[in-house]
Amino acid sequence: MSAPADTGYATLKVALLEEGTVLRILLDKPKGNVLDSEMMNEITDALETHRGHEALRLVVLRGAGGNFSFGASVEEHVKEKAPGMLSAFHRLVRLLAAYPVPVAALVEGQCLGGGFELALICHFLFGTPNARFACPEIKLGVFPPVLAAVGADRLGSYAAERMLLTGEAVSTSEAVRIGWITRQLEGEDPEADLLAWYRQTLAGLSAFALRQSTEAIRGGAGWLARLDEALTRTETQYVDEILSSHDGNEGIAAFLERRKPSWRNR
């Protein structure tokens, strides 16, 4: 059972499922659900709007069109726009990290850059067999601040360093072996599979107890404090060093101009 929750968004489709106990936020900006500032602000608004819904037991983030997200807008990575984009994105990341209700990312197809960083912060991560996870920022002469800040905590240091330093993609099956996928969804309707998991695990629990436990596991372990401190540090490094470098600006420009970058190694 589902019902529209909010229809006034330009980049999202938001609905309440499972008799109002599951909030689905569908990233809906063809073709790659690119996370520009508008979408970031709308996801933030949708989360804030439903934060106080006492019956809510799960939030599901999903991408429309067969891909989760191609990542943050490269156009907004240019020197003039990057500080504002990073501020908006990291505000969303902090909100998601401290959200009082568990959040699950349902990933199909490409989950890149900022899209992967968004999924990285979620409490549960589900992938279909065709899902691919990557942070290819290194290929543009920059780095992903959220992965740099919390990747070792979330993925383990070897997996995080490999992804950050090489930009290589990781498949769902490999992520299962590493241990950071909740479950691989094999059926033709991955959302139905996820909701079946929800009914088996969370639906019968107290929404109040879930909120208390979600706060306890992240706040009590000191993870939120570490995230805040580390994200402030990596954002500052990005703004102060990457945005003033030749290679950081050259990589973004080359991507937008569809040419090979000319690195100066500085």
Task: Please report which helix (H) or strand (E) contains residue 14, including its range.
Answer: strand 12-17
Residue 166 C-beta-side C-alpha neighbours within 13 Å: 10
Number of domains composing the chain: 1
* Per-residue pLDDT tens digits for 195-247: 999 999 999 999 999 999 999 998 887 889 999 999 999 999 999 999 999 99
pLDDT at 2: 53
What global pTM score does this model have? Answer: 0.94
* Per-residue pLDDT tens digits for 69-126: 999 999 999 999 999 999 999 999 999 999 999 999 999 999 999 999 999 999 999 9
pLDDT at 178: 87
As a whole number of angstroms, the longest Cα–Cα distance in the chain is: 58
In a domain, 15, yes or no: yes
In a domain, 198, yes or no: no
In sequence order, what are the residues at sequence separation of 6 or more whose Cβ sits closer than 8 angstroms to the Cβ of residue 143?
A: 137, 164, 234, 238, 242
In a domain, 262, yes or no: no
Rounded to whole angstroms, what are the CA distances from 94 to 21, 40, 78, 249? 23, 12, 23, 27
* Per-residue pLDDT tens digits for 168-183: 999 999 999 988 999 9
Q: What's the CATH code of the domain at 59?
A: 3.90.226.10
Task: Please report which helix (H) or strand (E) contains residue 132, including its range.
Answer: strand 132-134
- Domain of residue 32: give its range: 2-186
In a domain, 243, yes or no: no
In a domain, 211, yes or no: no
- Please state the separation of Cα 236 from the chain's center in Å: 20
Confidence class of residue 8 from pLDDT cuts 50, 70 and 90? Answer: confident
In a domain, 148, yes or no: yes
Q: Under DSSP, is residue 177 helix (H, G, I), strand (E, B) or coil? A: helix
Mean pLDDT of the chain: 94
In a domain, 34, yes or no: yes
In a domain, 265, yes or no: no
* Per-residue pLDDT tens digits for 233-244: 999 999 999 999
